[in-house]
């Protein structure tokens, strides 16, 4: 047998035995007997293959085909027998030649008797399944939390995640309720409450900011320090709120306000020599700024209620009291204009006592101060009262933590971009901090105090202006510093997503249920407006005031309301929607003005809010259909009747009172019973043979009525004239 020739040169003819791979050593000489092992085990053995390699090499005869294995201790006996048996070994039998797999001893397993597995009967199986379902239901209930937080709407997938359930189970529950929904479809909180009640889970309705909560740093006793009180000045319009702040700050803010009224929140920090610091918030007094007063009360520690001694309690005074009580803050009453001769402070105290603000001098708990902001009298007593009230409140806050506060105002500043006024309530704000303002992330690129000076650090109870916002936040939105930029972006993006979900729910869509209502509303006119203002708070107040003008016949639709100058996109939107642009303390850019002139879009510019409301009300009243009023102008008695071919019946009449006009209407009465269901138009009026425009009392005339020929002698015609009266706009009742 020759090995593979690719392992070496061919062996010469007659070479004995099997030759190994030639790469294991030199070729064996011809005639070398037997199988040669690997040469790496030692030099070639002359005796051929030696099975026992543990001992020294043994000499002997080479491995021959006719030989056999030697017995222990002696020479190898030759193989013998016709079947190749050698030595004392008995000849091989046929069963020894069987295949190996048939000769292997396998362990055999007996098939188990089916009788050992007794099947459960039907009752046991049913009971088993019932118990199993109970265990599965109990496991699910154990996984569902006792309560979950959600906003007005939530998607099915988010609800399933909150309840630790599969979305398919929620969808199955909704299908049983008759609702065909998908995993990404929104459901309202009432529907979610029904589903959660089946799992003994309570639903808590939270706001957008509670849903995406930024965990605040815990307070430590050693970090708590005294902070300046935040004081909000509230009251009716023109009662002297800003004048009082002018007296305290020794500035002239009120002179710079249009119309002498404050139209956005101003925040000031006043340093009182030898007494400390006080932060003042000035809120508008006009009725349209109710939301801004509410925000002022929410961020304050003390409310100063300014009431004019000559006017007394007014509507915005009552509203300010309600806001202060809702915020649960103490009220200090400042009776202003006490220098006027018609001032009656006692009457003001009596009116406020009826509202629950009993003076301390009369046995109550409310502090009163009589002042004159114009003459600057009583200011020191008021400041002492504020500091006394602040000392009783024991205002302490942690300054060594991430800053938290509220957005007071936000606007677009020419050259600086988006600027927001922030009141720091807790912690310390530093330049370079990453934050989330409302739903928008940002970074503090620059910071200014209320006097316009650039600062780098702002502690608690400090109003600052910051630059570096990604968009305009809403006035009153929370302001929180995050650990890093990544957290700010994550929270901001999540809040924007939830905001979009909430906005999509507010879009009024046509369904089969309200289709008929929408068809009926086809007669309703729409008045589209675009509002642009200097600050976000004023825009919100103006939008709320204008939307209250809508009624059942005409609807005012604010299609855009934002802070900033009037730009080209505003004009394009107004052109597409046939809208009016209102600029409140802002002006259009030159390119926007050119585009507006081309598109014939009207831009109204205002500085005072009630001027806007009055003009829009007048415009909406002009769109209303005028009221038609009937006026009785005369009475006519029928004396004779004439049949005229192709014309009908003509009545010969006598004007008994008033007069008759050609374009007037008539009602026909016979024996004091009206024959016509409605008024009938006079088709012809003649005096003898000539047409007449008007016939006065005491004269005869001929009258023909349109489509009415049943006139008899003795009938009375009541002559009616219609006049159109312009209607006034009545706001739709809530």
d(CA 283, CA 233): 6
**pLDDT recorded at residue 105:** 53
**pLDDT recorded at residue 129:** 80
Q: Average of pLDDT values for 232-260?
A: 69
For the chain, where do the domains classified as CATH 3.40.50.300 start and end?
228-394
Q: What is the pLDDT of residues 569-622, one digit of tens each?
A: 888 888 877 888 888 888 888 888 888 888 888 888 888 777 888 888 777 766
CATH class of the 627-725 domain in this structure: mainly beta
**Helices assigned H by DSSP within 512-664:** 515-520, 536-547, 568-577, 590-599, 609-623
How far from the centroid of its chain's Cα atoms is residue 22's Cα? 85
**pLDDT recorded at residue 547:** 79
**pLDDT recorded at residue 101:** 47
Q: In terms of C-beta density within 10 A (0-12 exposed, 13-18 middle, 19 or more buried), how is residue 266 classed?
A: buried
Residue 510, both tokens: 């046509």
**pLDDT recorded at residue 272:** 78
Q: What is the pLDDT of residues 66-110, one digit of tens each?
A: 444 555 555 555 554 444 444 455 555 444 444 544 444 555 555
**The tokens 């988010």 sit on which residue?**
158
Q: Which of 276-280, 323-327, 429-433 has the lowest mean pLDDT?
A: 323-327
Pick the closest to residue 540 from 258, 295, 255 (CA basis): 295
**pLDDT recorded at residue 521:** 53
Pick the closest to residue 500 from 186, 162, 181 (CA basis): 186
Is the CB of residue 260 less than 8 Å from the CB of residue 284? no
How far from the centroid of its chain's Cα atoms is residue 428's Cα? 28
Q: Average of pLDDT values for 329-344?
A: 86
Q: Average of pLDDT values for 511-535?
A: 64
Is the CB of residue 303 less than 8 Å from the CB of residue 331? yes
**pLDDT recorded at residue 107:** 52
d(CA 526, CA 620): 9
- Is residue 205 predicted with pLDDT exceeding 50? yes
Terminal-to-terminal C-alpha distance of the chain: 111
462: part of which helix (H) or strand (E)? strand 462-469
Could you tell me the pLDDT band of residue 671, with boundaries at 50, 70 and 90? confident
> In sequence order, which residues have a C-beta less than 8 Å from that of residue 282 and are 6 or more positions away?
233, 241, 242, 245, 253, 262, 265, 266, 267, 268
CA distances from 388 to 278, 330, 461, 636, 706 (A): 12, 12, 18, 84, 85
Pick the closest to residue 371 from 342, 350, 340 (CA basis): 340
**pLDDT recorded at residue 408:** 83
Q: What is the pLDDT of residues 358-401, one digit of tens each?
A: 888 888 888 888 888 888 888 888 888 888 888 888 888 888 88
d(CA 390, CA 231): 10
User: Percent of the chain, pLDDT > 70?
Assistant: 72
**pLDDT recorded at residue 356:** 84
Q: Average of pLDDT values for 348-356?
A: 87
State pTM to two decimals.
0.54
Pick the closest to residue 152 from 203, 214, 212 (CA basis): 203
Q: Average of pLDDT values for 345-368?
A: 86
For the chain, where do the domains classified as CATH 2.40.30.10 start and end?
404-504, 627-725
Cβ atoms within 10 A of the Cβ of 687, count?
A: 14
Cβ atoms within 10 A of the Cβ of 578, count?
A: 10
Is the CB of residue 302 less than 8 Å from the CB of residue 234? no
Is the CB of residue 241 less than 8 Å from the CB of residue 293? no
Could you tell me the pLDDT band of residue 244, with boundaries at 50, 70 and 90? confident
Secondary structure of 398-423 in HEC code, one letter for each residue:
ECCCECEEEEEEEEEECCCEEEEEEE
More confident residue, 299 or 580: 580
**pLDDT recorded at residue 18:** 47
Could you tell me the pLDDT band of residue 258, with boundaries at 50, 70 and 90? very low
- Is residue 20 predicted with pLDDT exceeding 70? no
Q: What is the pLDDT of residues 675-708, one digit of tens each?
A: 877 788 888 888 888 888 888 888 889 988 888 8
Across 2-16, 115-129, 644-658, which has the greatest mean pLDDT?
644-658
The residues pairing with 155 across neighbouring beta strands, listed in sequence order, are: 186
Q: Which of 84-98, 200-214, 416-430, 653-667 has the lowest mean pLDDT?
A: 84-98
User: Percent of the chain, pLDDT > 90?
Assistant: 1
**pLDDT recorded at residue 96:** 47
**The tokens 């303390």 sit on which residue?**
585
Q: What is the pLDDT of residues 49-70, one digit of tens each?
A: 555 544 444 444 444 444 445 5
The residues pairing with 667 across neighbouring beta strands, listed in sequence order, are: 718
d(CA 720, CA 723): 10
Could you tell me the pLDDT band of residue 264, with boundaries at 50, 70 and 90? low
The residues pairing with 398 across neighbouring beta strands, listed in sequence order, are: 224
**pLDDT recorded at residue 247:** 81
Pick the closest to residue 430 from 468, 459, 390, 452 (CA basis): 459
Q: Average of pLDDT values for 649-669?
A: 88
CATH class of the 404-504 domain in this structure: mainly beta
- Is residue 298 predicted with pLDDT exceeding 70? no
> Phi and psi for 137 in degrees, rounded to 5?
-65, -40
d(CA 609, CA 622): 20
For the chain, where do the domains classified as CATH 3.40.50.10050 start and end?
515-623
Average pLDDT of the chain, as a whole number: 75
From the options 1.10.3720.10, 1.10.10.60, 3.30.70.1070, 3.40.50.300, give the CATH code of 228-394: 3.40.50.300
Fold annotation for 515-623: Rossmann fold (3.40.50)
d(CA 41, CA 20): 13
**pLDDT recorded at residue 82:** 46
Q: Average of pLDDT values for 156-160?
A: 88
Could you tell me the pLDDT band of residue 39, with boundaries at 50, 70 and 90? very low
Secondary structure of 540-581 in HEC code, one letter for each residue:
HHHHHHHHCCCCCCEEEEEEEEEECCECHHHHHHHHHHCCEE
């Amino acid at each position: 047998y020759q090995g593979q020739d690719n392992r070496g040169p061919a062996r010469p003819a007659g070479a004995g035995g099997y030759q190994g791979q030639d790469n294991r050593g030199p070729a064996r000489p011809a005639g070398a007997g037997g199988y040669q092992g690997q040469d790496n085990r030692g030099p070639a053995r002359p005796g051929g293959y030696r099975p026992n390699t543990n001992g020294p090499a043994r000499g002997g005869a080479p491995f021959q085909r006719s030989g056999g294995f030697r017995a222990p201790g002696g020479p190898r006996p030759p193989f013998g027998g016709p079947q190749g048996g050698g030595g004392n070994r008995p000849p091989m039998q046929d069963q020894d030649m069987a295949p190996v797999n048939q000769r292997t001893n396998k362990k055999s397993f007996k098939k188990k008797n089916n009788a050992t597995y007794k099947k459960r009967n039907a009752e046991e199986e049913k009971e088993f399944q019932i118990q199993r379902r109970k265990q599965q239901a109990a496991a699910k209930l154990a996984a569902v939390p006792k309560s979950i937080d959600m906003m007005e709407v939530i998607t099915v997938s988010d609800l399933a995640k909150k309840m630790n359930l599969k979305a398919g189970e929620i969808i199955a529950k909704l299908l049983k309720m008759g609702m065909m929904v998908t995993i990404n479809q929104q459901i309202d909180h009432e529907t979610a409450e029904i589903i959660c009640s089946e799992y003994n889970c309570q639903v808590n309705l939270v706001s957008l900011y509670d849903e995406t909560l930024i965990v605040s740093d815990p307070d430590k006793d050693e970090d708590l320090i005294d902070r300046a009180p935040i004081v909000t000045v509230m009251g009716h319009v023109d009662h002297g709120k800003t004048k009082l702040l002018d007296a305290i700050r020794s500035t002239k803010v009120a002179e710079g306000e249009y119309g002498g009224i404050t139209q956005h929140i101003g925040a000031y920090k006043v340093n009182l020599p030898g007494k400390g610091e006080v932060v003042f918030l000035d809120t508008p007094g006009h009725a349209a700024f109710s939301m801004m007063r509410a925000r002022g009360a929410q961020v304050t520690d003390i409310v100063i209620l300014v009431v004019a001694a000559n006017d007394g309690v007014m509507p915005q005074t009552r509203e300010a009291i309600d806001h202060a009580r809702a915020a649960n803050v103490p009220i200090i009453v400042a009776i202003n204009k006490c220098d006027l001769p018609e001032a009656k402070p006692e009457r003001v105290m009596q009116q406020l006592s009826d509202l629950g603000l009993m003076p301390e001098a009369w046995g109550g708990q409310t502090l009163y101060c009589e002042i004159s902001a114009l003459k600057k009298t009583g200011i020191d007593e008021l400041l002492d009262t504020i500091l006394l009230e602040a000392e009783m409140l024991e205002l302490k806050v942690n300054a060594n933590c991430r800053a938290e506060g509220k957005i007071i105002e936000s606007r677009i500043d020419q050259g600086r971009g988006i600027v927001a006024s922030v009141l720091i309530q807790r912690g310390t704000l530093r330049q370079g901090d990453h934050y989330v303002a409302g739903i928008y992330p940002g970074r503090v690129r620059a910071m200014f105090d209320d006097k316009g000076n650039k600062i780098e650090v702002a502690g608690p109870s400090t109003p600052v202006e910051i630059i570096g916002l990604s968009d305009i936040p809403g006035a009153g939105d929370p302001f929180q510093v995050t650990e890093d930029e990544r957290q700010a972006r994550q929270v901001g993006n999540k809040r924007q997503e939830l905001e979009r979900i909430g906005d999509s729910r507010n879009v009024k869509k046509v369904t089969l249920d309200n289709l008929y209502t929408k068809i009926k509303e086809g007669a309703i006119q729409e008045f589209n407006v675009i509002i642009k203002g200097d600050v976000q708070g004023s825009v919100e107040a103006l939008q709320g005031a204008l939307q209250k003008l809508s009624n059942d016949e005409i609807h005012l639709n604010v299609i855009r309301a934002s802070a900033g100058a009037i730009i080209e996109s505003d004009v394009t939107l107004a052109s597409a929607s046939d809208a009016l642009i209102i600029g409140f303390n802002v002006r259009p850019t030159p390119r926007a003005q050119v585009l507006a002139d081309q598109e014939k879009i009207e831009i109204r510019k205002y500085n005072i809010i009630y001027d806007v409301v009055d003009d829009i009300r007048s415009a909406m009243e002009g769109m209303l259909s005028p009221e038609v009023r009937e006026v009785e102008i005369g009475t006519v008695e029928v004396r004779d009747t004439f049949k005229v071919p192709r014309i009908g019946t003509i009545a010969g009449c006598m004007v008994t009172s008033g007069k008759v006009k050609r374009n007037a209407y008539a009602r026909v009465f016979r024996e004091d019973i009206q024959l016509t269901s409605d008024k009938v138009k006079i088709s012809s009026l003649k005096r003898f043979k000539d047409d007449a425009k008007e016939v006065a009392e005491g004269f005869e005339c001929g009258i023909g009525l349109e489509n009415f020929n049943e006139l008899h002698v003795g009938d009375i015609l009541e002559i009616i004239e219609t006049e159109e009266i312009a209607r006034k706009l009545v706001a739709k009742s809530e």
